[in-house]
Every structure is written in C-alpha cells, then in structure tokens.
Amino acid sequence: MKIELPKPYITWLVAIYVACGLAYMVWRIGAINHAAPWLSIPLYAAEIYGYVSGLLFVMMTYRLSVREPVPPQEGLKVDVFVPTYNESVDLLRRTLLAAKWMDYPHETWLLDDGRRESMRQLAAELGCRYLSRQDNLHAKAGNLNNALRITDGDFIAIFDADHAPRKDFLLKTLGFFSDEKVAFVQTPQDFFNIDSFGHRLGKKRVWDEQALFFKVIQRGKDVLNAAFFCGSCAVVRRAALDEIGGFATETVTEDVHTAIKLHKRGYRSVYYGESLAFGLAPHSIDTYLKQRMRWGMGSMQVFRRENILFGRGLTLGQRLNYFASALFFFEGWQKLIFFLTPPAVFLFGVLPIVAPLDTFLLLFCLYYLLSILVHLELGRGYNALLLSEQYAMARFFAFMSTSMGLFRRDIPFAVTDKQLSDTGKVWLWLSPLLMLAGIGAISVPVGLYRMHTGSIPVSAGIVTMIWTLVTLLTAVSVAVFAHRHAANRRGEYRFPLHVPVTLAVDGKTYLGLTSDLSPNGALYVGEFVPGLAPGNAVDMLIHLPNLIVRDSALATFVGHRGRDPHAASIGLRFQWDARGNTGALESFLYGSRLQLEMGNLTETETPPLTRLAELLRREGGRPRFAQSWGAGLLLQPLRSGTLPVAIATLEGAAPLLFSSIELDLNSGATLRQPAAGSLSEQTVSLIPTGRLRTPTGDFHLYNFTSHSTAA
C-alpha cells in the first residue's frame, strides 16, 4: 500500500489551522457571557464540537491509501450474495445480470427475505440460486447468516439489491486476500441516478453528498487499518466471519458492527478506492433522512455496545476513526445551536459573547477561513462548502433523533425505500427546518427594533442579522430543492447517454442518437421521420459496443428539434418482443461510469489553494465537451456496410468520434452526417484518443480531421 500525502503548503495550512483553532478556543473562554449562560455556554460547546471534529477530519484525510489491485489466485471458491426484501423484479434483474456476468468463476445467490414467487422465478430465469427462510429474524444480517449456513464459498461478495457490479469486480478485489489476515475488501458505493436528492448536477460537475466519505475519508481510514465494511460492494472472508459468529446481529448497522468485531480480532481491512459497482441513491429527502437515521441509530448502538474508546482489541487509530464517525451524528445538536442563537439574540436582547467586536471578528474570521480552506484542500475537491451546509441543515433534526440510539435497545431495521415519494411526505420531513426558518423570520423585525432603540449594539446586530439571513437563505434553498425532487414523478432513471440508434419506417432508415436512455425507453434526436405520429410503431437498432439491440418501439411523442425542420425529437417506448435483448441493454446501462465519462463530467472541483498553485505553475486544464452532439455513418474500404457513430464537438479541439468497434487506421475513412435533409460526406483522418469501458465492451474514441467535403 502506498500513501498519498498533501502538498507541503497544505501541511503548513493544517499546522496553522490547528494552532489558530486552539488559540481561538482558549480565547473564547474569557469571552463567555456568564450573565446569559443558557445562550453562551451552548454556543461555546458547539464551537468546541466543530474544532474537535475538524481535528478528527484532519486525522482521517491527511494521509490517503493508494491501492493497486493484484491478480487473484486461481481456484478460489466465491459466492455472491444479493439480499432482498421488497425491491422490484426489474431492480433485482439488473443487479443479478451484472453479478452473474462478473469475470472469475462464482455462484450468484438471490437471498429473498420477502418469500416471493416472482423472485424464485427470476432466479431460475437468470440461472442464479434462490434461497429464502421462514422468518425475518435479524433482518439483513440474519438473511446473510442464513445463507452462510447453506453455502460453502471461501469468499462472500455482497451487493445490495440495487447495486450492479462491474465485470471486473472480483478480479480487482480477490487478489488482496493473498494476505491471510485480510478479513474484507471494501470498495466505494457509487450511484447511477445522479438526479437523486444527494446529488447536485452542474454543467460540468456532478457533486455527490457521499463522495467525500467513499473517495477520501475511507482511504484515510484505510491507512490506519480502520476502513469500514459498508454492507455492499464488498468481499468478506468466510473464515473471519466464522470466527466472530457471522455477521453482527445486535444492531441495525450490521456492516460497521461486523467490521469492529473483525478489527478487534486483529484482522486487517482493505479499502480499494475505485468505483466497481453502481447503485440507486435515495431519490428524495424522506428516503435520504430515513437512511441517515438508521445509520445514526446503529452507530449509537455500536458505540454503546462495543465501548469504542476504551474496549480491548482496537488500536488507537481505529478507536479515533470509529469515534469520529459516531461523533458525526451529533452534528444535529451543533447545527440547532447555530440556527437558534441569532434569533435568541434578537428576541431576548442578550449577546452570547462579551468582547470587543473587532477583536472577535478578527479571531473568528481567521479561524473560520482556515477551517474552510483545510476542509476544502484535504477533501481533495470532493467537498463543497455551501452544499455541505445545505445538507447539514436538511438532516439536523434527523441526526438529533439518532442520539436516542444511545438509550434504545430495540431499533427496527428499515430497508431504504426505492419508490417515489409524495409531496406530503416531503413537507413533513421539512417541517423542523421550516419551523427554524419561521423563528428566524419572526426575529428579524424584533432585531431591527432593538438596534433602533439601542438595546443591542448596531455593530453586533448587523453581524447577527447577516447570520440570520444566511440561515434563512439556506433553509429556503433546501426546501425548494426538496420540493422539486418530490414533483419529479418519472418512475425510472434515464441515463443521459448519446448512443447511435437507427429507426426503420416503411423501408427507409433514419439516423440519430439517444439523448437519454433506459431499459424501457429513450429520447431519439436525429433525422426527421416523415409521417410518424404518436402511437406509431418503428423498428429500431441501438448500436452498443460489440452488440446491436434490435426491437420495435412505440412513438410516445414526435416533434422538431429546435428550429431545424429536418431534425426530430422522438420519444420511444420499447416493446421488447421476441427479437429484443433487454438483458444486454440493462447490462450496458447499469454497472459503469459511462454517463459521466461520455459527458466529461467531473466529481471534483479544484480547491482554491490548489487552483492558485496550478495558476502559478501555469498548468492547463483538460478539454471540455461542448454542448453539441450529432450522429454519423462511417465507411471504410475493408469493412462492409456503414457504422453508426456518435460525434461530440469539443471546445478548442478536433471533434471526437465514438465508435462501438475498433476501427482500422491503415485504411481511409468516409464520414456521412445528416445536414439539411440529406447526407454530407467527407474524407477524414482518425487519431485514437482512448476508450470508455462499458459492460458490453469499449467505446473507441477518435479525434478526426476532414480532408474534403462532397454533397
């Protein structure tokens, strides 16, 4: 294992932050307003919490592991477990197909705690083993333990019902088990539905609220042999599980609890940071918060039962890492104090801090600025200040309620809901936030009156007013975003993929691309189809890497694309008759990062100091895709027929061609593209620039330049 360290200037930044933070916390003791302890002491406690959390964040993110996979030994016996309770057949089909097609010999088991005949039939249809039990004792952990008693694989790969693995998942993870002390290998939990509540989609960036944990913090924990087992996208050694009596059943977070038990027995964990499986993130605020509440309550249960700080068996690094993750769920109390302090100042006319305002602002702003920079830089670009604050506000009440897990012994296991939510549920979960916003709004005119009468110093009132307005703006942003998600009633995620597709109507063929694509439908953008109306059937061919999916579809709507009368936008609903190959299309869509790679979307944003250093070194950024896509037909002398391809127009670079097969560079190529109702033709030269991996094969990428044009 290699270690990734931050740049030297980041090390200096961290050192200054730690020192200034300590100095500020010591100074703040003398600034506590003892005349109003009910206000000033909780505020100071919230600041102490933030500083301690910051120190733990530095510990977890300063050094990151860099793992390189090694080829696995031959002959390992591997079982793949896919536990399910109430998920849909379509969802399980995609996961089982991806699991079954993984490279390396293995047997795939569908563990059905719902005891449904539809699941039994699905397993038989796909050639998977089916297993159910008479009760649901201990929920997911009990389901997994029941399968352990029936199966005999030396290694257990586990995927939640919604997580579709890549073909090379086992090849990338099994090699780490050559070390007999490795109990489990965990990989990131990544998500394909980038329109979920936990994602924010910009023009060039997809921000995932969980990415900081899975792409940075887990790698930092790995350095100290403290990586978490997260219950999915992981492989576990059976012998290690046997030693601790199977998966932990005493708490609702069987994954983290199991990891602690294994670490206490002296086993090692491995965190491999490449995304090798892709699942379904909570789609709305209610499912998001329910999931976080279960995690939080389970964390409290584990903290109490395993005595993380003082129990035997854990190293100091492991204790601090587990403690940091448990402490995170107390964030709700800190945020509540921060949200209520400004209204309290206005409504009661007391200040929590007694110190010259200029002194306070100097020290506080310096400490706060350093804290922001440290979190952004050590977050390696996965952090986002304003978005993180919005999600902290959204979950503050849920996290407050999770502290009850310290006192409750029996907490029911709740499966994360995969269905859409109604607007009423959303407003119910937003009600604590809206109550806070209401209190803040009421306090504003009171604060203005107190500043006018002099009962609150104007300077302190202005600072408090800014604080209040920022809180209100954050609350409004969260409420608007959550409501928009509730209003999105699309039942199935559409991948924003530009894949070549041809439509056949009355013996004529029309060329275009998908603008979005799912197993049951697509939006076609391309040549206009004369006479086509909603409800008409068309024959279609979807050109995937190494595969052509042929079937019929119904047009759900037909329109022109922009002002071009020769360009159409057609909604398609697939029929999937006997000629169809829905399994191949599902496998292509689920289990890869193609939607990010094809759209050249990044998950990170360069932190400010790193960006400044790059500017000083005059380092250039990578080219970006323009918002321009088109379809084309490629002809080569030694290849029979034409090949539909996708073409992206780049900013400041040659156009990029996506081919579903590898092209012959030694022979010439002719490219035909739709233009004004006909096909323009040009001779092109191709330069290979890379590949994009998909479960059915690779998209081959070529830059091309034109030599001639003919009508």
Give me 625's structure tokens.
């895709």
Residue of 160, 162, 190, 255 marked active site: 255
DSSP output for 143-161: HHHHHHHH---SEEEE--T
The alpha helices in 211-272, defined as continuous H runs, are: 211-212, 218-223, 238-243, 254-264
Nearest one of 516, 588, 583, 579 to 553, comparing CA atoms = 579
Cα(90)–Cα(87) distance, integer angstroms: 9
**Would you give the end-to-end CA distance of the chain in angstroms?**
59
Contacts (Cβ under 8 Å, ≥6 apart) of 641: none
How many of the other CB atoms lie within 10 Å of CB of 383? 22
223 φ/ψ angles, rounded to the nearest 5 degrees: -60, -35
Q: Where are the beta strands (DSSP E) in 472-600?
A: 500-505, 508-518, 521-527, 537-544, 547-561, 564-574
Angle at 213 between CA 19 and CA 288, to 5 degrees: 120
Question: In Å, what is the CA distance from 507 to each residue of 203, 535, 565?
Answer: 39, 18, 22
- Please write down the HEC assignment for all residues of 274-302: CCCEEECCCCCHHHHHHHHHHHHHHHHHH
Helix (H, G, I), strand (E, B) or coil at 503: strand
Nearest one of 557, 559, 553, 560 to 534, comparing CA atoms = 557
Nearest one of 513, 512, 506, 542 to 527, comparing CA atoms = 512
Cα(295)–Cα(301) distance, integer angstroms: 10
Is 564 in the active site?
Answer: no
Is 90 in the active site?
Answer: no
Cα(437)–Cα(423) distance, integer angstroms: 19
Nearest one of 277, 279, 273, 296 to 216, comparing CA atoms = 273
Cα(259)–Cα(308) distance, integer angstroms: 12
Which residues face 107 on adjacent strands? 79
Residue of 113, 160, 190, 208 marked active site: 113
Nearest one of 672, 680, 583 to 634, comparing CA atoms = 672
- CA 579, chain centre distance (Å): 35
Decide: 523 and 535 in contact? Cβ < 8 Å.
no
Decide: 661 and 700 in contact? Cβ < 8 Å.
yes
692 φ/ψ angles, rounded to the nearest 5 degrees: -115, 120
Nearest one of 336, 337, 259, 328 to 300, comparing CA atoms = 328
DSSP output for 456-490: S-HHHHHHHHHHHHHHHHHHHHHHHHHHHHHH---
**Active-site positions?**
113, 255
